């Protein structure tokens, strides 16, 4: 396992981290047994993963509980990244949310405590001050953000800084490359890339739009007429599926799995400290962790070119689920 520095901290984190959303939100990901979730965490630990990401929002805290139980005595060997929801960004609510997360995780501290989405009702300065107080008390160790665009990141850093910014980033959604990632690099903020397999689209599993589960057809890639969408855009369904097919063919031609290719491409992107990989199936997780490799600059350039039409069509709006006018990521 490769390890990289997390922004300006002195931490070295695994280039692939474990995303615990999938082990605690059966409504979105489907039911699974606790033994599978626990085994997946053990696989990650045994493969050298030392960053585990969760949130109070995932399954109403069920993800935190499952992760804490699965880590057990090995909790001290890893960094836990947790997130506070935007509705809990007021100072008194930040403290209460943090303490509730600590109880669910069964730990005395959270290594990286992140603002899940920017609050539009609480000044960043107030939230940052509350987080700084928690850090001074030892309840959290570093402050991070998630889903912050270039403008919000500049304002947040003016209030006191961030170790990292979690952004949605993968071969099928490259909006962060326009502004968000350059802003992170300029300020020494680590990029943590979530949704690296685009909710399963980068697994080679889906041959048509109808094969994709309904709850995963809500992003701006899909037509506004799909159930559950909020963006009101026409989408780019034909271009999306053509790109998926092209990526599948490219992976086969170079002897890679689609998942391994997608994860390896992402790990090669400038500024990315860790790729957050969610998984419930221990065997699949093991295969994907071992598939990450240096694919070389030529393959990276070819993949950039292959996915550029979709990148251009979706544009610089980093919010996968809302139009630019209503974007929560600024």
251 within a domain of the structure (yes/no): no
Q: Into how many domains does the chain fold? A: 1
35 within a domain of the structure (yes/no): yes
- The CATH number of whichever domain residue 156 belongs to comes to 3.20.20.100
SS3 295: coil
320 within a domain of the structure (yes/no): no
SS3 86: helix
Q: 144 phi and psi, to 5 degrees?
A: -135, 175
Q: pTM higher than 0.95 for the full model?
A: no
| Parent domain of 197 | 3-204+258-293
238 within a domain of the structure (yes/no): no
Has 308 been annotated as catalytic? Answer: no
247 within a domain of the structure (yes/no): no
117 within a domain of the structure (yes/no): yes
Angle, helix 258-267 to helix 296-314, in steps of 10 degrees: 90
Which of these is catalytic: 58, 113, 169, 194? 58
Element spanning 151, H or E: helix 150-159
pLDDT tens digits in sequence order for the chain, 330 residues long = 999 999 999 999 999 999 998 786 555 545 555 667 788 999 999 999 999 999 999 988 999 999 999 999 999 999 999 999 999 999 999 999 999 999 999 999 999 999 999 999 999 999 999 999 999 999 999 999 999 999 999 999 999 999 999 999 999 999 999 999 999 999 999 999 999 999 999 998 898 899 998 888 999 999 999 988 889 899 999 999 999 999 999 999 999 999 999 999 999 999 999 999 988 789 889 999 999 999 999 999 999 999 999 999 999 999 999 999 999 999
Q: Which residues contact 17 (CB under 8 A, 6 or more apart)?
A: 49, 50, 51, 52, 53, 81, 192, 274, 275, 276, 277
Handedness of CA 243, 205, 214, 70 (dihedral sign): negative
168 within a domain of the structure (yes/no): yes
Which pairs with CB-CB distance under 8 Å and at least 24 residues apart come from 216-222? 218/321, 219/173, 219/320, 219/321, 220/314, 220/317, 220/319, 220/320, 220/321, 220/322, 220/323, 221/172, 221/173, 221/310, 221/314, 221/320
47 within a domain of the structure (yes/no): yes
């Amino acid at each position: 396992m490769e390890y990289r520095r997390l922004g300006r901290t002195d931490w070295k984190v695994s280039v692939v981290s474990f995303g615990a959303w999938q082990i605690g939100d059966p409504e979105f990901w489907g039911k699974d047994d606790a033994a599978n979730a626990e085994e997946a965490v053990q696989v990650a630990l045994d493969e050298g993963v030392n960053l585990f990401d969760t949130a109070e929002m995932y399954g109403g805290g069920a993800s935190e509980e499952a992760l804490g139980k699965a880590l057990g005595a090995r909790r001290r060997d890893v960094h836990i990244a947790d997130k506070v929801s935007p509705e809990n960004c007021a100072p008194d609510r930040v403290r209460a949310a943090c303490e509730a997360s600590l109880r669910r995780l069964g730990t005395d501290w959270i290594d990286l405590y992140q603002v899940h989405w920017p609050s539009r009702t609480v000044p960043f300065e107030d939230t940052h001050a509350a987080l700084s107080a928690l850090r001074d008390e030892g309840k959290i160790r570093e402050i991070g953000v998630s889903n912050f665009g270039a403008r919000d990141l500049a304002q947040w850093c003016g209030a006191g800084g961030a170790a990292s910014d979690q952004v949605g980033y993968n071969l099928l959604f490259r909006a962060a490359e326009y502004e968000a990632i350059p802003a992170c690099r300029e300020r020494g903020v680590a990029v943590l890339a979530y949704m690296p397999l685009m909710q399963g689209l980068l697994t080679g599993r889906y041959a048509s739009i109808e094969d994709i589960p309904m709850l995963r057809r809500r992003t701006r890639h899909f037509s506004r007429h799909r159930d559950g969408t909020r963006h009101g855009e026409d989408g780019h369904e034909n271009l999306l599926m053509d790109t998926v097919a092209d990526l599948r063919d490219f992976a086969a031609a170079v002897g890679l799995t689609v998942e391994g290719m997608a994860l390896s491409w992402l790990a090669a992107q400038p500024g990315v400290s860790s790729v957050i990989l969610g998984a419930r199936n221990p065997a699949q997780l093991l295969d994907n962790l071992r598939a990450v490799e240096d694919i070389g600059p030529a393959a990276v350039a070819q993949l950039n070119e292959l996915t550029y039409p979709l990148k251009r069509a979706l544009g610089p709006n980093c919010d996968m689920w809302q139009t630019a006018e209503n974007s929560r990521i600024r």
